[in-house]
Structure 1
Amino acid sequence: MPAVVGSVTIVNIGSSGVFHIGDVFAIRPISQARTFAGAGSFNVGEVVSVYNYQNTTSVNDNDVVDQPIFNNY
């Protein structure tokens, strides 16, 4: 439905964010990310004890595309 929109201030929009004013049928933001993390990287809690003495995270990736995003509209 048409609407009258007053002043709008946009401070920041993330890489996979969408800002839209008006009528729309479908909004589908598309993004991709690759994350490398070693042992004990994503631990959460009040008391976490992690002992990583000999930790190595290998980030050598020979292929160019892991999961392509195409024809996604």
Structure 2
Amino acid sequence: MPAMVGAVKVINIGSSSVFHIGDVYKIQPYTQAKTFAGGGSFNTGDGIRVHLENAQTTMVDNDEFDQNLTGI
């Protein structure tokens, strides 16, 4: 069934977002990310105490591509 849409104002769309108005068969946003974090990272909450005497995050990544996105 066709969509009836009035005025639309788009302020901002992220790099891997989808903006859609009306009928659609398939929406397939894509993104990829790689995160490296050391000990005590990504902690959330109140009153967290992390004591790391000598912490190091060692990253060795010999390949050029980790996850190839094809057909996009």
Bin for the TM-score computed over the shorter chain? 0.7 to 0.9
Any stretches of 5+ residues in structure 2 without a counterpart?
Answer: none
| TM-score normalised per structure 1 | 0.81
CA RMSD of aligned residues (A): 1.7
Any stretches of 5+ residues in structure 1 without a counterpart?
Answer: none
State the AA in 2 paired with 1:37.
Answer: A
| Whole-angstrom distance in 1 between the partners of 2:37 and 2:12 | 27
Aligned match of 2:8: 8
Give every structure 1 segment of 4 or more consecutive aligned residues whose post-TM-superposition deviation is greater than 6 Å: none
CA contact (8 A) 2:4 2:22 kept: no
Q: Identity percentage over the alignment? A: 53
Count of residues paired in the alignment: 72
| TM-score normalised per structure 2 | 0.82
